[in-house]
Each structure stands twice: as structure tokens, then as C-alpha cells.
Amino acid sequence: TVSSSTIPSAAPTGSSLPTLSTPTDYASTGVYYHNKHRMNHSAPLTTWNSAQALIAAEIASSCIFAHNMTVSGGTYGQNLAAYGSTGAVQSIPPPLMLATSIVNQWYYSEVANFLPSYYGEATPDMSNFAGWGHFSQVVWKGSTSVGCASQSCGAG
């Protein structure tokens, strides 16, 4: 996922939440699962950004599992996820891979690591950034759009 960012916000305090449309394709899946979790933190909903998706696709196409902030100036946040399989990982539909990455790898696995005292802080304690960085990128209050890409890469 590639998105721009500022500060994550705390969980809502009871205001009515918008209704999300059921995803129908890769782009709507990315937007749906980001927004589903953003609503838990009173962050504004995001939209799909095709330019960011092209950046994500360029980075993913290298098949190098490492952050690369050199593409298109690097003025964006970046989350990565990887899958491995002894079977045919290509048989997993890309929207399902994306949804699983957002939900399990980036949100639920890290939400508890982002301490309540970090909310609203421009510079939260970065000593455990590896434990909450993906989560914060998903719910970052200043993010207005997302662009995602998946790439099947050979073994190794």
C-alpha cells in the first residue's frame, strides 16, 4: 500500500459511522479494508488513487521485499506484505491477499502496540515503530487516498 500521511487519530466516541460498500474488485477491496479500520479511529475515509497504485506496482514488480522510497520522489507512506506457500500462491486471488494483508498483517497484528498516549502525537515514541508502523499507516488521519498492488514472484 502506498499512501500519504500525517497523524493517527483515536477511536471514535459514539458518532454515527458511514456505511461502506461491499468490495467488488482489487481497488475497492483496498479502499474498503483501509476504511473499515480507519472508522475505528475516527480517521476520514480514503479513496483509490491510481497514481499511487502505479507506484506500488512498480515497486512490487521488482520482487524485492524491501521498502523502496525512491520511486516518484518517495513522498508517501509504504506498507509491504509477503506470502509464501509450498503450493501455488498464484491461486490466491489478489483482492483476498490484499484484504488479508490489511486486516491481519497491518492492523490486528499491530493495533495493540500503538499505545493510547501516541494518538494525536506528531512524533510518537519510535522505539517500537516496527511493532506499530503498518497499523499507523492504515489509520493515519492525514491520509486521503491509497494505491495498492500485488505481484507474484518466483521462489527465492
Tally of domains within the chain: 1
Partnered with residue 140 across adjacent β-strands are 8
Q: Could you count the other beta carbons within 10 Å of the beta carbon of residue 113?
A: 16
Which structural domain, as residue segments, surrounds residue 63?
2-146
Q: How many helices (H) and strands (E) does the chain have?
A: 4, 4
- The CATH number covering residue 26 comes to 3.40.33.10
Helix axes 26-38, 129-139, angle to 10 degrees: 110
Question: Is residue 41 situated within a structural domain?
Answer: yes
Question: Is residue 151 situated within a structural domain?
Answer: no
CA distances to 99, 112, 130 from 125, rounded to whole Å, are 28, 15, 11
Whole-number pLDDT of residue 97: 81
Main-chain dihedrals φ then ψ at residue 140, nearest 5 degrees: -55, 125
Predicted confidence (pLDDT) per residue in 88-132, tens digit: 667 778 888 888 888 888 999 999 999 999 988 888 889 999 999
